[in-house]
Amino acid sequence: MAYVDSAKSIPLSRATQLLRGRTTFFLGGLFLCFFIVLAIGGEAFAPNPPNQIDLLHRLSAPNLTYPLGTDHLGRCILSRLMTGTALSLGTALTTAGLILAIALPVGLLSALCKGWVDAVLMRIADIFLAFPMLVFALAIIGYLGASLTSAVIGVALAWWPSLARLVRTLTLEAASKEYVLASRQCGQKPLSIIGRHILPQILPPLLVVLSLEMAGLLLVLSSLSFLGLGAQPPAAEWGAMLNEARPFFAERPSVVLAPGIVIILAVLSFNLVGEGIRFQLDKRRPYRW
């Protein structure tokens, strides 16, 4: 009887999981699409020029001309948030791409070459991992000079080792599959094995991790801009907007809250999409009914 009860409970939990997975992905996707549209057409849709200074209306409350009010220089906050989407998301995407560009070859080489190549690459990764990532990024930015490019390079150099270790682990597992060995036996060259058999196995879980990392990257880059080490004024980057608005929080909280909420929404959308993809991929595993 207990067996029957537990069997009955499975479809319900599965249905709940399905609903949760699809809803998560749908919500995340919706937010992300919204941000992509803003990133593409933000400047065209913006009600005011983002860098137009209007000192007569500085720190004004939301009104018809300035729907989210103005900052300390009288610039339209909504327009700056909209036009800053491309810069903020673009920076996070570029950083993620750079991290992948370093981590993927390092992880693949390490797993496939093994021996001393693996030992050397992983020890280098260990050395990088020994430093707190943000401190390491700050050190690189300090060396290169404060700018958005330095922030992207600094974050990418501090973040690649953990992803490289993941790529290595995934590749080791993928390369030991019988069909990969069988393909090697059929004379396939290493690059062909990587392209045809290993990348299709490791990319889906990597994309999930990256989409979840995107949220973290967005926060770190915003934090760096907030500290004045990333995007420099007058660039309409969300973190930089927070930094500029900081002294005026008590006078007009919306100047800080607006970019803060947008960052939270963007982080949330990446997290939801990542979680949704993870769920979809899990569902395909044969041992899940």
Binding residues for another protein (CB under 8 A): 177-190, 192, 196-197, 200
The residue (of 8 and 284) whose beta carbon lies closer to another protein is 284
**Residue 191 CB, nearest approach to another protein (Å):** 11
Phi, psi of 160 (to 5 degrees): -65, -35
**Residue 190 CB, nearest approach to another protein (Å):** 8
Sign of the Cα pseudo-torsion (85, 86, 92, 96, in order): positive
Tell me, what amino acid is at 43? E
**Residue 138 CB, nearest approach to another protein (Å):** 42
Helix (H, G, I), strand (E, B) or coil at 54: coil
The answer to whether the beta carbons of residues 213 and 131 sit under 8 Å apart is no
**Residue 178 CB, nearest approach to another protein (Å):** 4
The residue (of 190 and 247) whose beta carbon lies closer to another protein is 190
Q: Which helix (H) or strand (E) holds 242?
A: helix 238-245
**Residue 115 CB, nearest approach to another protein (Å):** 14
What does the alpha-carbon distance between residue 156 and residue 116 come to, in Å, rounded to a whole number? 25
181, 187, 192, 194: CA torsion to nearest 10 = 20
The residue (of 139 and 203) whose beta carbon lies closer to another protein is 203
The residue (of 68 and 170) whose beta carbon lies closer to another protein is 170
Helix (H, G, I), strand (E, B) or coil at 76: strand
The residue (of 59 and 199) whose beta carbon lies closer to another protein is 199
Q: Which residues contact 267 (CB under 8 A, 6 or more apart)?
A: 215, 218, 219
